[in-house]
Amino acid sequence: MKITVSETSGKPIYEQIKQQIRAAVLNGDLLPGDPLPSLRKLAGELGISILTITRAYNELAEDGILVNVQGKGTFVADRSADRMREQLTARVGATLDAVCVAAKTAGIPLIDLLGMLEDRYNSTPGPDSK
């Protein structure tokens, strides 16, 4: 897995790292038990602070995506892809609830709402898009 960061993206570097690790887990590039680069190694490769890598790894560990093993390193957690899918599905469900309330309030018929959703879905780039 290759991680790249951009100083000009407008997104914090630790968020860029988290997003790329999440994508690698979801698409199977990283499997449960796979080791991640050490904090020092990745910080050196990217030319950024170890604290930035630490924040990204720790936040992913809090989400159950990674596991930090004292003295051994950081690894992809068991069921991490399943956890992420569950979290993302719940977030999509909550967003759709809000969209349905807004659509009903605006008097938008379901067929029109479905068309709007399809248009947005088809025009939105995926996580691998640059």
Residue written as token pair 């093993």 = 69
Task: Identify the CATH number of the domain in which residue 73 sits.
Answer: 1.10.10.10
Query: Do 74 and 85 belong to one domain?
Result: no
The values of phi and psi at residue 30, to 5°, are -115, 130
Query: Do 39 and 69 belong to one domain?
Result: yes
By residue range, what is the domain housing residue 54? 13-78
Query: Do 21 and 73 belong to one domain?
Result: yes
Using CA atoms, how far apart are residues 82 and 91, in angstroms rounded to an integer?
Answer: 14
Query: Residue 78 — left, alpha, or beta (φ > 0 → left; ψ -120 to 50 → alpha)?
Result: beta
**Domain-embedded: residue 37:** yes
pLDDT in tens, the chain (130 residues): 789 999 898 899 999 999 999 999 988 899 999 999 999 999 999 999 999 999 999 999 998 899 999 999 999 998 877 877 888 899 899 999 999 999 999 999 999 999 999 999 999 887 655 4
What would the DSSP string read from start to end of the chain? ------TTSSS-HHHHHHHHHHHHHHTTSS-TTPBPPPHHHHHHHHT--HHHHHHHHHHHHHTTSEEEETTTEEEEPTTHHHHHHHHHHHHHHHHHHHHHHHHHHHT--HHHHHHHHHHHHHHS--TT--
- pTM (two decimals): 0.70
Written as six digits, the tokens of 7 are 């100083």
**Domain-embedded: residue 8:** no
Query: Do 61 and 74 belong to one domain?
Result: yes
**Domain-embedded: residue 1:** no
Query: Do 58 and 35 belong to one domain?
Result: yes
